[in-house]
Structure 1
Amino acid sequence: MKHFSFLFLFSALLFTSSCTTVEKKVPRDVASLQATGGMEGIWFLQGTSSTRGPYNGELELRRTSDGTYDVIRMVTYINYFYDGLKVQEVWTGKAVTAGDTLVLSYDLRQADFIEKLGNAKRDASDFKNMINVVTRFIATDKGLAAQYSDKKVSNYNEWITTKRDLEVKPLWTNLRTNIDAQGPKVPLAVRGVINIFKRDIGYHKDPYVQSFKNRKEFQEERPFIVFDPTDYDFYQTHKDIIRVVNKITDDISITEASVKRNAYAPSLSEKAASYDKNTVTHHINEIGMVSKAEVDSNDKLIAYRYDGDSALWTGMYIGSQAMRYLKTKNPEALANVRKSLRAIFILMDITEDPEEFARTLMPYKPGDAIPNKWHQGKGVYANMLWLEGGNNDMYKGLTHSMMWASLVIPESDKEMWDHLRDKSRRLLKLSVFDDKSQNQAPSYGLVALINKDKKALEDYRSAYRKMRWKPSGYSMNANFYWHGSADWSGVNLGLVGDMTDITIAERLGETEIRNRLRERLMDTWVTYSPAQRHLVTMVAYGYAYSKGTRGDNFREDSSDAKFMSALNNAAWGIREIPYPRPNLDVTINHSLNPEWCISPIPRLFWKALKRPEPPNEYFYQGLYNYPVFEYQAFTSNFVWKDTAFGFKDSAGRGSENAGVDYLFAYWLARYVGVPHVE
C-alpha cells in the first residue's frame, strides 16, 4: 500500500506540474518552494471542513534523505465538539515539491475495531481498504492553498502561510508496539492433550481456522500484547481534546478515540474518585450487592440489575474499600465496607439451608414474576429475592470479605463482630467447604482468627499438611500458560484466594505456611509473566516479592530485573481502563482487521468435555491482546477475569457495568506501593 501511495504521489506531482503556470506574483512565503529544503519546518495551517467547520493547526514537513518530506498534519476544530470536547485530527504521510506546488499523500483507515455503533455500521471492506488522500498546495494570494476530499465524509479547503523551526521531536509519534507473549515451549504431554481436544471438536479442520494456516504467527503459535501508550502524555496535559489519528473522522472513529481519551486524560486518582462515587450511586443496590445499572440517555440511574457473580465482585469491592480505608482513613470507605458486608451475611442466612448460600440478592416487588433459579426470602427477608448456585468461585467472595472486614472494622462494633464470628463458623457447614479441599484451610483460619479458636487453628494447620503434596495444593503450582491459552477467570480467582490466604497466615503468625503461600504466588507470577497480567504483578509484589520471596521457579526462569520491569509497567493495567466506561449500542470486531490472526490453540480447550459440546466459535481466540480501551472497556463487567486474547463482543445501550475491577486494582496498588500509582 505504501509503494502505491508513493507512485500516486509522484504521478500527481507530475500531472500538476505539467498543467499549471507560474503566477506573476508569488507570496513571499511561497518562495520556500523554490529553495532546496526550504519547505522544511512547521507551518501554520488553517482550513474548513464541509462537515465540521473551520480549524487551525500545523503542518510539519521534515526532509528525508531521499529528498521527500515526512508529513504530520495536526488540526483542531474551532466550533465542532463531541460530548463537550474538542476534536483534533492527526494525519501522517509523505510530501514532494516541484516549482510552486507541494503535493502530500496520506493513507487513512476507514475502519479500526468498531463494527457497529447504533445505526452506523462499517462494511467488511472498510477494514481492509485504506483511503489514499492526495493534497495539492499551489500558490495563491493567501499563500499555499489546497482543496481536496477524504473520499468518504468531508471536503477540505486549507492553506499554509508562515512557518517556524522544527522541534527536536516530531509533533506526533506512534508508540504502538506488539510485545511477544509466547512463553515457554508447550510440553509434549500437554501438546498431546491439546491435540486430542482439537480433534474432538474438529478445530484443526475448521475452514475459518484453516484460512489462517499460512500466517507466520499462526504457524509459530506466537501471541502478542498490543501495547499503545501513544498520546498518554498529550492527554495528561490536554484533557479537553479527542485526538483522531490516521482515520476518516466520523462518529465511529471519534468514539474509538474518545474511549482512549477517557482512559488517558484523567489521573489514576481522578478515575478512582469517580469510580468510588459512581459505584455507590449506580452499582451497590439497596441491599449492598454489586449490581449492573440500567441508565437513561443521560446516564441517570433507572434501576439496579443483578450480576450473577455478585458474591465474588462484592467481596472484592469490600476488599477495595478496606484497602482504601487503610490507606486514607476515609470514613466513607469504612461505611461502604459495612453496607456490603451486611449483604454478604444475608447471602448465608436467606437460603435457610446451612449448606447453601446465595450468589446475589435483589429487592422483591410484590406481584412481579420470580425468574428461574431465583427465590423469595422468608420472614425478615421476604422483601428480597436470592439467586441459587453459591459455588467455589462465589465462596472466595465470602472469605475475602470477612478477612478484610476483620482488619478494618473495630471490635467495638459488636453487631458486626457478632456476625463475623457466627458467619465465619458457618463457612465450615457449607457444602462447598467439603467439596473443595482448598477452601478448608482458609475457612479454618478465619474461624481461628476471628474467634480466637485454638481448635480451629489446629484444624487450619492440619488442612495445610494434608494439602502439601496434592497437585492442587498450596505447595505446588497448578497454573498454566501455553502460548496465549490459560484459565483467565481462574487466574483472577486464584489471586483473590492468595491475598486472603497469605493475610490469614500472616495474622495467625503461621510463618511456614505463609512462606509457602508466598512461594506459590511467585510461581504464579512466573507462569503468567509472558502475558503481562498486571494484576498478577501487583498482587505478587505486595504479598510476596516485597517481602523478600523469590522461589525456585523465579530463580530458574526469571530475575529481579524482569520483575521490576513488569512492576514499573503495571500501572498501565489501570491506565488503560477508562472513566466513564462507554455505554453504547456497539459491536467490537478485531477479526475484521487484516492484521488480526486466530490462535491455533482453542480457547478453554478443556471445555470440549461439556455436553452439549459448544460450537467451534466458542473456542476461537486471537493471537493479539488489545488494550482495554479497544475491547474490554465496551463490554466487560470485570477485566481481570476476561480472556486475554478476546477479539469480538457486543453491548447494548442502557446497561452500565460496575467499576469494581478498577477500584480493586487501584486501591491494591496504593495499599502495597506499586510504582507510578498515585
Structure 2
Amino acid sequence: MKYFSFLYLFSSILFATSCTTVEKKIPRDVASLQATGGMEGIWFLQGTSTSRGPYNGELELRKTSDGTYDVIRMITYINYFYDGLKVQEVWTGKAVTAGDTLVLSYDLRQADFITKLGNQKREPTDFKNPITVVTRFVATDKGLAAQYSDKKVSNYTEWITTRRNLESKPLWTNLRTNIDAQGPKIPVAVRGVINIFKRDVDYNKDPFVQSFKDRKEFKEERPFIVFDPTDYDFYQENKDIIRVVNKITDDISITEASVKRNAYSPSLKEKANSYDKNTVTHHINEIGMVAKAEVDANEKLIAYRYDGDSALWTGMYIGSQAMRYLKTKDPAALANVRKSLRAMFILMDITEDPQEFARTLMPYKPGDAIPNKWHQGKGVYSNMLWLEGGNNDMFKGLTHSMMWGSLVIPESDQEIWSHLRDKSRRLLKLRIFDEKSQNQAPSYGLVALINKDKKAQEEYRSAYRKLRWKPSGYSMNANFYWHGSADWSGVNLGLVGDITDISIAERLGETEIRNRLRERLMDTWVTYSPAQRHLLTMVAYGFAYSKGTRGDDFREDSSDAKFMAALNSATWGLREIPYPRPNLDVSIDHSLNPEWCISPIPRLFWKALKKPEPPNEYFYQGLYNYPVFEFQAFTSNFVWKDTAFGFKDSASRGSENSGVDYLFGYWLAKYVGVPHVD
C-alpha cells in the first residue's frame, strides 16, 4: 500500500505540473519550494475541518537522502472537545515538491481494534484497507493552501505560512515495537502431548487456524509482546489532550486513543489514589467483599454486582491495603483491612458446614428470588446471601488475608484477633485442606503464627517435608511456558501463594523453608521471563531477588543483568492500566488486523479433556500480546490473571470492573521498593 501511495504521489505531481502553463508571480513562501532544501523546517499550520471546526498546528518537513520529505502533521482542534479534552491529530507521510506545488501523502487507518462502540460499527474491510489522503499545497493570498478530504468523515482546508528550524528530534516518533516472547525449545515429550490434544479437537483442520498456516510467525511458533511507550512523555506533560495518530478521526478512534491517554497521563501515584477512593465507594460491597459495580451514565453507583472469584480478589485487596498501611501508616488503609477481613471471616461461618466456605457474599433483599448456587444465611447472617463453591483458588484468598491481617492489625484489637485465632484453626477442617496437600503447610503455618502454637509449627515443617519430592511441591518447579502457552490464571494464583508462604516462613523464623520457597519463586520467574509478566517480576524482586536469592534455574538460564532489565520494564505493567477504566458498550477484535496471527498452539490445550468438549473458538489465542489499554482495560476484571495473548472480547456499558489489580500491583511495588514507581 505504501508503494502504491508513493507512485500516486508522483503521478499527482506530474499531472499538476504538466497543466501549469501560465507564468505567475511567485510569493516568498512559494519561492522556497524551488530553493535547495528550502521547504525543510517546521511550518505553522492553520485550517478547518467540516466535522470538528478550526485548528492550529505544525507541519514538519524533513528532507531525506532521495530528495523527498518525511512529513509530520500535528494539529489541535480549537473548539472541539471530547469528554472535556482537546483532540489532536498526528499524521505521518511523505512529500515532494515540483514547481510551485507541494504534494503530501498520508496512509490513514480506517480501523484499529474496536469493532463496535455503542451503535457505531467498523466493517471488516475497514481493518484491511487504509485510506490514502493526498494533499496539494498551492499558492494563495494566505500562503500555501490545500483543500482535501479524508474520504470518510471530514473535508479539510488548511494553509502554511511561517517557518522555524527543525528540532534535533522529529515532532513525533513511533516507539511501538514487537518483543520476541518465544522462550526455550519445546521438549519432544511435551510436543507429543500438545499434538495429541490438537488432534483431539481437530485444531489443525479448523478453517480459521488453517488460514494462517503460511504466516512466518505461525510456522515458527513465535509469539510477540507489543510494547508501545509512544506518547508516554507527551501525556505526562499534556494532561488535557487526546492524541489520535494515523487514523481517521472519529468517535471510535478517539475512544481508542483516550484509553491510552488515561493510562499514560496520570502518574502512578495519582492512579493509585483514584483507585483507592473508587474501590471503597464502588467495589467493596456493604459486607466488605470485592464486587463489580453497576453505574449510571455519570458513573454514579446504582448497585453492587457479585464477582464469583471475590474471595481471591478480596484477599488480594486486603493485601494491597496492608502494604499501603505499612508504607504510609494511613489509618484509612487499616480500616479497609478490617472491613474486608471481617467479610472473609463470614465466608467460613455462614455455610454452617465446617468443611465448606463461601466464594462471596451479598446482601439479601426480602422478596427477591435467590439465584442458583446462592443460599440465604441463617441467624445473624439471614440478611446475607452466600455463593457455594469455595475451592483451591478461593482458599488462597483466605490464607493471604489472614497472613496480612495478622501482620498489620494490632493484637489489642481483640475482636479481629479472636477471629484470626479461630479461623486459622478452622482452615485445617476445610475439605480443600485435605484435598490439596500444598494447602496444608501454609494452614499449619498460620495456626502456628497466629496462635503461637509450637505443635502446629512442627506439623508445618512436616507438611513441607512431605512436599519436598512431589512434582507439584515446594522445592520443584512445575510451571511451564511453551511458545506463548501457559496457565496464566495459575501464575497469578501462584504468586499470591508465594507471598503468603514466604511471609509465613519468614515470620516463623523457618529459614531453610523460606530459602527454598524463595528459590522456587525465582525459578518460576525464569520460566515465564520470555512473556514479561510484570507482577511476577515485582513479586520475585521483593520476596526473593532483593534478599539475595537466585535459584538453580536462574543461575543456569538467566543473569542479574536480565533480571534488572525486566525489573526496569515492570513499571510499564502499571503504566498501561488506565484510570478510569472505560465503561462502554464495546467489542474488540484484534484478529481483523492484517498483522495479527493465531497461535499454532491451542490456548489451555489440556482443557480438551473436558466433557463436553469446548468449541474450537475456546482454544484460539494469538501470537501478539497487546498493551492493557488496547484490550484488557475494556473488559478485564483482573489483568494479572488474564491470558497473555487474548485478542477478542466485549463489554456492556454500565458494568464497571474494580481496580484491585492495579492497587495490588502498585502497593506491592511500593512495599518492596521497585525502582521508578512514583
TM-score (norm 1): 1.00
- Structure 1 counterpart of 2:599, one-letter code: S
| Distance (whole Å) between structure 1 residues aligned to residue 23 and residue 217 of structure 2 | 55
User: What SS does the corresponding residue of 1:614 show, helix, strand or coil?
Assistant: coil
User: What SS does the corresponding residue of 2:67 show, helix, strand or coil?
Assistant: coil
Alignment of 1:275-674 (within 5 A): 275-674=275-674
| Distance (whole Å) between structure 2 residues aligned to residue 534 and residue 76 of structure 1 | 35
Deviations 1:244-300 (A, max 9, x none): 000000000000000000000000000000000000000000000000000001110
Question: What is the aligned partner in structure 2 of residue 142 from structure 1?
Answer: 142
| Distance (whole Å) between structure 1 residues aligned to residue 166 and residue 6 of structure 2 | 24
| Distance (whole Å) between structure 2 residues aligned to residue 109 and residue 191 of structure 1 | 39
Deviations 1:391-448 (A, max 9, x none): 0000000000000001100000011000000000000000000000000000000000
1:16, distance to aligned residue in structure 2 (A) = 1.2
Deviations 1:327-353 (A, max 9, x none): 000000000000000000000000000
| Distance (whole Å) between structure 1 residues aligned to residue 22 and residue 215 of structure 2 | 52
| Distance (whole Å) between structure 1 residues aligned to residue 386 and residue 614 of structure 2 | 29
Q: Is the 8 A contact 1:282 1:293 kept in 2?
A: yes
- Structure 2 counterpart of 1:110, one-letter code: Q
- Structure 1 counterpart of 2:102, one-letter code: L
| Distance (whole Å) between structure 2 residues aligned to residue 333 and residue 442 of structure 1 | 25
Deviations 1:69-110 (A, max 9, x none): 000000000000000000000000000001110000000000
| Distance (whole Å) between structure 2 residues aligned to residue 492 and residue 19 of structure 1 | 67
Question: What is the aligned partner in structure 2 of residue 105 from structure 1?
Answer: 105
1:204, distance to aligned residue in structure 2 (A) = 1.2
1:227, distance to aligned residue in structure 2 (A) = 0.1
Question: What is the aligned partner in structure 1 of residue 274 from structure 2?
Answer: 274
Deviations 1:581-602 (A, max 9, x none): 0000000000000100000000
| Distance (whole Å) between structure 2 residues aligned to residue 533 and residue 457 of structure 1 | 34
1:207, distance to aligned residue in structure 2 (A) = 1.1
Question: What is the aligned partner in structure 1 of residue 52 from structure 2?
Answer: 52
Alignment of 1:204-283 (within 5 A): 204-283=204-283
Q: Cα–Cα, structure 1 residues 384 and 23, in superposed 2: closer, same or farther, change >3 Å? A: farther
| Distance (whole Å) between structure 2 residues aligned to residue 372 and residue 352 of structure 1 | 19
| Distance (whole Å) between structure 2 residues aligned to residue 314 and residue 415 of structure 1 | 20
Question: What is the aligned partner in structure 2 of residue 179 from structure 1?
Answer: 179
Q: Is the 8 A contact 1:424 1:450 kept in 2?
A: yes
Matched, 1:125 2:125: yes
- Structure 2 counterpart of 1:432, one-letter code: I
Identity of aligned residues (%): 89
- Structure 2 counterpart of 1:385, one-letter code: L
Deviations 1:22-81 (A, max 9, x none): 563433222211111100000000000000000000000000000000000000000000
| Distance (whole Å) between structure 1 residues aligned to residue 483 and residue 562 of structure 2 | 19
Alignment of 1:188-199 (within 5 A): 188-199=188-199
| Distance (whole Å) between structure 1 residues aligned to residue 483 and residue 334 of structure 2 | 42
| Distance (whole Å) between structure 1 residues aligned to residue 23 and residue 478 of structure 2 | 78
Alignment of 1:4-153 (within 5 A): 4-21=4-21, 24-153=24-153
| Distance (whole Å) between structure 1 residues aligned to residue 181 and residue 674 of structure 2 | 23
| Distance (whole Å) between structure 2 residues aligned to residue 451 and residue 588 of structure 1 | 51
Q: Is the 8 A contact 1:519 1:544 kept in 2?
A: yes
Q: Is the 8 A contact 1:263 1:576 kept in 2?
A: yes
Question: What is the aligned partner in structure 1 of residue 154 from structure 2?
Answer: 154
| Distance (whole Å) between structure 2 residues aligned to residue 36 and residue 499 of structure 1 | 65
User: What SS does the corresponding residue of 2:568 show, helix, strand or coil?
Assistant: helix
| Distance (whole Å) between structure 2 residues aligned to residue 62 and residue 267 of structure 1 | 33
User: What SS does the corresponding residue of 1:644 show, helix, strand or coil?
Assistant: coil
1:451, distance to aligned residue in structure 2 (A) = 0.1
| Distance (whole Å) between structure 1 residues aligned to residue 548 and residue 36 of structure 2 | 62
Which range moves more in the overlay, 31-40 or 58-67? Answer: 31-40
| Distance (whole Å) between structure 2 residues aligned to residue 674 and residue 133 of structure 1 | 46
| Distance (whole Å) between structure 1 residues aligned to residue 607 and residue 20 of structure 2 | 68
| Distance (whole Å) between structure 2 residues aligned to residue 96 and residue 209 of structure 1 | 43
- Structure 2 counterpart of 1:227, one-letter code: F
Q: Cα–Cα, structure 1 residues 25 and 488, in superposed 2: closer, same or farther, change >3 Å? A: same
- Structure 2 counterpart of 1:132, one-letter code: T
Q: Is the 8 A contact 1:49 1:155 kept in 2?
A: yes
| Distance (whole Å) between structure 2 residues aligned to residue 208 and residue 339 of structure 1 | 49
| Distance (whole Å) between structure 2 residues aligned to residue 271 and residue 507 of structure 1 | 32
1:20, distance to aligned residue in structure 2 (A) = 3.3
Q: Is the 8 A contact 1:22 1:100 kept in 2?
A: no
Which runs of no fewer than 5 residues in structure 1 stay unpaired? none
User: What SS does the corresponding residue of 2:243 show, helix, strand or coil?
Assistant: strand
- Structure 1 counterpart of 2:426, one-letter code: R
- Structure 1 counterpart of 2:45, one-letter code: L
Q: Is the 8 A contact 1:26 1:140 kept in 2?
A: no
| Distance (whole Å) between structure 2 residues aligned to residue 22 and residue 290 of structure 1 | 75
User: What SS does the corresponding residue of 2:407 show, helix, strand or coil?
Assistant: helix
| Distance (whole Å) between structure 1 residues aligned to residue 68 and residue 27 of structure 2 | 23
| Distance (whole Å) between structure 2 residues aligned to residue 202 and residue 632 of structure 1 | 29
| Distance (whole Å) between structure 2 residues aligned to residue 17 and residue 640 of structure 1 | 58
User: What SS does the corresponding residue of 2:116 show, helix, strand or coil?
Assistant: strand
| Distance (whole Å) between structure 1 residues aligned to residue 551 and residue 629 of structure 2 | 35
1:622, distance to aligned residue in structure 2 (A) = 0.2
User: What SS does the corresponding residue of 1:570 show, helix, strand or coil?
Assistant: helix
- Structure 2 counterpart of 1:374, one-letter code: W
| Distance (whole Å) between structure 2 residues aligned to residue 411 and residue 26 of structure 1 | 87
| Distance (whole Å) between structure 1 residues aligned to residue 450 and residue 492 of structure 2 | 25
| Distance (whole Å) between structure 1 residues aligned to residue 20 and residue 568 of structure 2 | 57
| Distance (whole Å) between structure 2 residues aligned to residue 614 and residue 72 of structure 1 | 48
1:196, distance to aligned residue in structure 2 (A) = 0.3
User: What SS does the corresponding residue of 1:674 show, helix, strand or coil?
Assistant: coil
| Distance (whole Å) between structure 1 residues aligned to residue 551 and residue 533 of structure 2 | 19
| Distance (whole Å) between structure 1 residues aligned to residue 240 and residue 440 of structure 2 | 52
Q: RMSD of aligned C-alpha atoms? A: 0.6
| Distance (whole Å) between structure 2 residues aligned to residue 454 and residue 408 of structure 1 | 22
Q: Is the 8 A contact 1:347 1:361 kept in 2?
A: yes
User: What SS does the corresponding residue of 2:183 show, helix, strand or coil?
Assistant: coil
| Distance (whole Å) between structure 2 residues aligned to residue 20 and residue 292 of structure 1 | 66
1:4, distance to aligned residue in structure 2 (A) = 0.4
1:231, distance to aligned residue in structure 2 (A) = 0.2
| Distance (whole Å) between structure 1 residues aligned to residue 360 and residue 64 of structure 2 | 63
1:19, distance to aligned residue in structure 2 (A) = 2.2
| Distance (whole Å) between structure 2 residues aligned to residue 537 and residue 24 of structure 1 | 67
